[in-house]
Amino acid sequence: MKKKSIAALLLAILMCFALLSGCGEKPASPAEPANAGGQTEPEPAGGTEPAEPTEPEDPYIHVSSIDELVEAIAPNAMIMIDAGEYNMSEYIEIIPAHDAFDIDKWDAQHEYVTINEVYDGYELVFHDVDHLTIAGATDEPKDTKLVVEPRYATALNFIDCRYLSLAGLTVGHTEEGDCAGDVIGLNNCKNVTLDAMDLFGCGVNGITAYYTQGISVTDSVIHDCYYGPVDIEECSGKIEFKGCTLKNNSGGGYYDASGCEMSFTDCVFGEWESNTLYFHDDIEFDNCEFSEITSYPEYEDGDYEEVDYVFDPTSFKETPVDEKYLCSNYWVGYHQVNMHSGEGRDLPAYVEETDEFESIAMTFAENGTGRLEYWDGDYDFEWTIMSDGTLTIETDDFFLYGSYYIDDTSYESYDVQWLQIQLFNDVIWMY
């Protein structure tokens, strides 16, 4: 072989080695420029990208009709009613209009809500439901309003409920005037909270509570009710009002102090509310504002201690029936006397044999009709004032006589008017 050929072969072999020595290097790409200086980018802490923040889950069931509200009632339910005005009676009245409607059947389909018939219509009753919250759409009660039409209906009625919370609602009847139903009714409930509520007339009382343990009312207004802001009877625990206004009610309300502690903190009272509540030495007041006192109770021996009312029918004066007061009053049984044994007892009375409370109430309409609510049933009746000023009451089942009395010995600024009826074997005193 010639020397020139051998030299060419050696040069080719050297060039191959040079090419092979660069085969393992990855060339820099435009998308990934080479890292000058050999430095590396720092890794994020934890080795992963931070998670995007998530919105908290809305705990409320949002409803925009009374139908949706009724269907949402259940234990542990948190219900928010969209802003607007809702006529609960329009919803209730539609249901009985159907020919095939059966209240018992409807009640059976709703575990925690029943329809109760009252003298001039229907009302809803929420019962046996615990940890229930019903709130308006905003912090302003005026934005979410619930009303009922019948004068005898309670707007929001709760029985046997525990841990009940109502907030941000305006509640009342559609028209002012005479009423026999309350705005909020609580019967045998426990731990009730009312916050930012506007309760207005013509309800008999803004809040009526029987056999209820623990009520807290904050930043609320109770006004223009037919009798008074509250009727608290046979309750227990603490009944607390904070930052509330009670004004323009026709009376100061009623409060039975036995078994419970009632207090008002940072509250404002109108004239009638001041006249009544100011003299309660069994109520605690802290930083409250009272209106000018215009009605004073009478005191004995200058000791300035409030005189308890003494029920003594022997001092009552029989008088002709006051028809106007008869029809405007919601008559409640106060005392019952057995005509055979002469034994008497105050009402409502607990009956151990039946584990129920016996009570009685009556209402009279100007058209000569009325309603008797007795503990074991309700009765429609017709009434007439006789020539001697006494009263006759007739139902399909019985015929009653009624007499009218005035107690002018009361320490109040007005006389107490009493209605006495003979019901079966008993004489019932009602006021």
Q: With a cut of 80, say whether residue 140 has pLDDT above it.
A: yes
In the chain, the amino acid numbered 373 is E
3-state class of 328 per DSSP? helix
> Mind giving me the DSSP string for 52-107?
PP-PPPP--EEE-SHHHHHHH--TT-EEEEPSEEEEHHHHHHHGGGSTT--HHHHH
| Paired tokens of 298 | 């009478």
Output the average pLDDT for the chain. 82
391 and 340 belong to one structural domain: yes
∠ CA 360-152-394, nearest 5°, is 50
124 and 174 belong to one structural domain: yes
Percent of the chain with pLDDT over 90: 43
Give the least confident one: 262-266, 320-324, 379-383.
Answer: 320-324
Domain membership of residue 51 (yes or no) is no
State which of 251, 286, 321 marks the end of a domain: 286
244 and 320 belong to one structural domain: no
Tell me the residue range of the domain where 342 lies. 313-430
Domain membership of residue 53 (yes or no) is no
**pLDDT band at residue 310 using 50, 70 and 90 as cut-offs:** confident
The CATH number assigned to the domain holding 347 equals 2.40.128
272 and 329 belong to one structural domain: no
Provide mean pLDDT across the span 75-86: 97
Q: What is the pLDDT of residue 301?
A: 44
| Paired tokens of 334 | 């106060």
Q: With a cut of 80, say whether residue 94 has pLDDT above it.
A: no
Q: What is the pLDDT of residue 375?
A: 73
Overall domain count for the chain: 2
Domain membership of residue 2 (yes or no) is no
∠ CA 258-228-165, nearest 5°, is 70
In the chain, the amino acid numbered 83 is A
276 and 326 belong to one structural domain: no
Tokens 């046996």: give the residue.
128
Domain membership of residue 140 (yes or no) is yes
pLDDT digits (tens, 9 = 90+) for 22-80: 444 444 444 444 444 444 545 555 556 666 666 678 899 999 999 999 999 999 999 99
317 and 280 belong to one structural domain: no
159 and 259 belong to one structural domain: yes
175 and 269 belong to one structural domain: yes
**Identity of the highest mean pLDDT range in 88-102, 310-324, 342-356:** 310-324
Domain membership of residue 307 (yes or no) is no
pLDDT digits (tens, 9 = 90+) for 343-360: 888 888 777 777 777 888
Q: With a cut of 90, say whether residue 214 has pLDDT above it.
A: yes
pLDDT digits (tens, 9 = 90+) for 277-295: 888 888 999 999 999 887 6
Domain membership of residue 276 (yes or no) is yes
Q: What is the pLDDT of residue 177?
A: 67
Domain membership of residue 413 (yes or no) is yes
* Phi and psi angles of residue 178, each rounded to the nearest 5 degrees, phi first: -75, 140
218 and 339 belong to one structural domain: no
| Paired tokens of 273 | 């509310």
Q: With a cut of 90, say whether residue 182 has pLDDT above it.
A: yes
Give the least confident one: 10-19, 89-98, 249-258.
Answer: 10-19
The CATH number assigned to the domain holding 187 equals 2.160.20
pLDDT digits (tens, 9 = 90+) for 389-421: 889 999 888 888 899 988 876 544 456 889 999
Domain membership of residue 27 (yes or no) is no
* Phi and psi angles of residue 168, each rounded to the nearest 5 degrees, phi first: 65, 40
263 and 369 belong to one structural domain: no
pLDDT digits (tens, 9 = 90+) for 104-133: 888 889 999 999 888 788 899 999 999 999
DSSP-derived letter for residue 4 is H
130 and 84 belong to one structural domain: yes
Provide mean pLDDT across the span 305-311: 60
214 and 337 belong to one structural domain: no
